[in-house]
Amino acid sequence: MGDLGGLRRRLPYLADLGVDAVWITPWYPSPMADGGYDVADYRDIDPRFGTLADADALLAEAHALGLRVIVDLVANHTSEQHPWFAAALAAGPGSPERERYFFRDGRAGGAEPPNDWVSAFGGGAWTRVTEPDGHPGQWYLHLFAPQQPDLDWSTPQVADEFDAILRFWFDRGIDGVRVDAAPAMAKAPGLPDAGHAPGAAFESRNWVGNPHWDVDAVHDILRRWRRIGDSYGGDRLFVTEAVVNGPERLSRYVRPDEMHTTFNFDYLTSPWDAAALRQVVDSTLAALEPVGAPATWVFSSHDETRHVTRFGRAWTGAAFGGAALPASETDLELGLRRARAAALLTLALPGSAYVYQGEELGLPEVEDLPEEALQDPTWERSGRTVRGRDGCRVPLPWEGDRPPFGFTTGAATWLPQPAGWARLTAAAQHDDPGSTLSLYRAALRLRRRLRGTGMSWRDAPEGVLAFDRGPRFRCVVNLAAEPVDLAGQGEVLLASGPCGAELPADTAVWLAPGG
């Protein structure tokens, strides 16, 4: 969390980094019960971030630097402070105002929730309201926090409103939209029980035929939005967040008349293991090929433990949403070596790649935030057992030798930065050819020459991934314990760590074959 003034000031940094676009998480007025994913007004900017005029200036300045801007659309739910929800509470049962959300009578005479659905942040997905007459009354649905009531997309006014919101932002000049929680937007008619066991976790990647996730009617909404995006011409991009059951279900979100791209959680959550990663790459490309959609690749996000930290643990995979992982020691030196190799893998794959802010600096997860600083609703909803996602959201260090490292002119950032980040600042890394920032800058530049080339795997020893992109580019990633011989593979273009005739463990290299 920063502000639009700060973001504008750092746009040249992003252009210099070499990215094509910037995705901004929700910037709308919000009580911030879930990092802005609880929107109170979809047509304005939260005052703590700036104004609509700042957003316009940001768009103009980004475009002048050749950067596109993607904004986040949170359409499954509003904030409890959205005027529609206030009106629904005030209007009472049976009112048209309540039809924009899911208000239902409880079971067992009203005392029990209407069904067994669960919240992504732990616990049940229903909260009971006090009616205007002061008595306990109906329940409303929230697949996330209670401060995020779900909208009922079968109510025409909801769909019409979001058409208008999309047009509002396309008219202002945004280049694309990231669709939050896309699989949540449709629910099975009648809201039947899901059959969840008591205390069930929110494990949407395992759900098949679930009544509150990945229900087919969601695709009607996506088709409607695609028509609006297309009506603006140019390269307007949609990317969905869809944590669903396997690549085939995921491919439905990117059929030709739906979204252009979708995040790839199988890759994000994969362990640092050659066979597992190859399997994810193959199944992703195979599932997307029939619908003609490009793949996307990402290892970190604002919802996930940073991969420098994950890759330094015994269990290197991830559990989406900051769930508790088996405790183990973290070797950050090993994690960073692997994360640098992972950068060369990710940026060599065909399709789009996402870099999560600070990843290019090699930032680790901040695992020792004081409890009183924690903001993620997961913390309270899990009875203070799951710390949640704050450790990856700590503002990045720009310059200087102590917090707030140039991020703010105030005394401190909203989540405190570790003092040890002095050696990781963008300023400290900028002119160091061996820094992680320099590696990302070089890779993002070289990557441009890969456009339009497919990939083909090469035979490689166990634990090694090797593939070509056309005749003049090869990527070799060594995930095995032993070094691998590079003789005859070509001239080194870029390496994630020291490498000569042999590629050491947990190191990746880009080569020009025949060079």
Give least dist CB 34 to ligand NOJ, A: 5
Which stretch of DSSP H or E encloses residue 276?
helix 274-288
Give least dist CB 77 to ligand NOJ, A: 7
Query: How far apart are alpha carbons 411 and 116 in whole angstroms?
Result: 46
Give least dist CB 135 to ligand NOJ, A: 31
Only one of the segments 32-40, 188-196, 224-232, 434-442 lies at the binding site for ligand NOJ (rule: CB under 6 A); that segment is 32-40
Q: Are 468 and 513 in contact (CB under 8 A)?
A: yes
Give least dist CB 180 to ligand NOJ, A: 5
Residues 180-209 that bind ligand NOJ (CB under 6 A): 180-181
Q: Give, as one character, the DSSP assignment of residue 441.
A: H
How far is residue 78 from each of residues 5, 26, 137, 150, measured CA to CA in Å?
A: 26, 12, 21, 7
> From the list 18, 28, 34, 153, which residue makes contact with ligand NOJ (rule: CB under 6 A)?
34
Give least dist CB 227 to ligand NOJ, A: 24
Q: Closer to ligand NOJ at the Cβ: 264 or 435?
A: 264
Query: How far apart are alpha carbons 185 and 220 in whole angstroms?
Result: 10
Give backbone dihedrals phi and psi of 511, rounded to 5 degrees, phi first: -130, 155
Residues 395-454 that bind ligand NOJ (CB under 6 A): none
Q: Closer to ligand NOJ at the Cβ: 119 or 413?
A: 119
Only one of the segments 31-39, 276-284, 462-470, 495-503 lies at the binding site for ligand NOJ (rule: CB under 6 A); that segment is 31-39
- Residue in 177, 174, 178, 228 with CA at minimum distance from that of residue 63: 174
Q: Closer to ligand NOJ at the Cβ: 232 or 320?
A: 320
What is the residue whose two structure tokens read 């050696």? Answer: 423
Single-letter amino acid code for the residue at 324 = A
Q: Closer to ligand NOJ at the Cβ: 34 or 359?
A: 34
Query: How far apart are alpha carbons 71 and 239 in whole angstroms?
Result: 10
Residue 474 CA, chain-centre distance (Å), reads: 28
Q: Closer to ligand NOJ at the Cβ: 144 or 414?
A: 144
Q: Is there binding between residue 144 and ligand NOJ (CB under 6 A)?
A: yes
Q: Closer to ligand NOJ at the Cβ: 241 or 468?
A: 241
Which stretch of DSSP H or E encloses residue 221?
helix 218-231
Q: Which residue is nearest to ligand NOJ (CB)?
A: 37
Q: Closer to ligand NOJ at the Cβ: 215 or 274?
A: 215
Give least dist CB 239 to ligand NOJ, A: 12
Tokens for 397?
């260090």
Q: Is there binding between residue 303 and ligand NOJ (CB under 6 A)?
A: yes
- H helix intervals, 431-477: 436-446
Q: Is there binding between residue 390 and ligand NOJ (CB under 6 A)?
A: no
Window 223-252: contact mask with ligand NOJ (x via CB under 6 A) = ------------------x-----------
Query: How far apart are alpha carbons 304 and 323 in whole angstroms?
Result: 9
Only one of the segments 33-41, 91-99, 339-347, 408-416 lies at the binding site for ligand NOJ (rule: CB under 6 A); that segment is 33-41
Give backbone dihedrals phi and psi of 42, rounded to 5 degrees, phi first: -80, -5
Query: How far apart are alpha carbons 94 and 110 in whole angstroms?
Result: 15
What is the DSSP secondary-structure string of 372-419?
GG---HHHHHTTS----SGGG-SPPP-SSSSTTTTS-SSS--SSPPPG
Q: Closer to ligand NOJ at the Cβ: 147 or 413?
A: 147
The footprint of ligand NOJ (CB under 6 A) covers 34-35, 37, 74, 144, 180-181, 241, 302-303
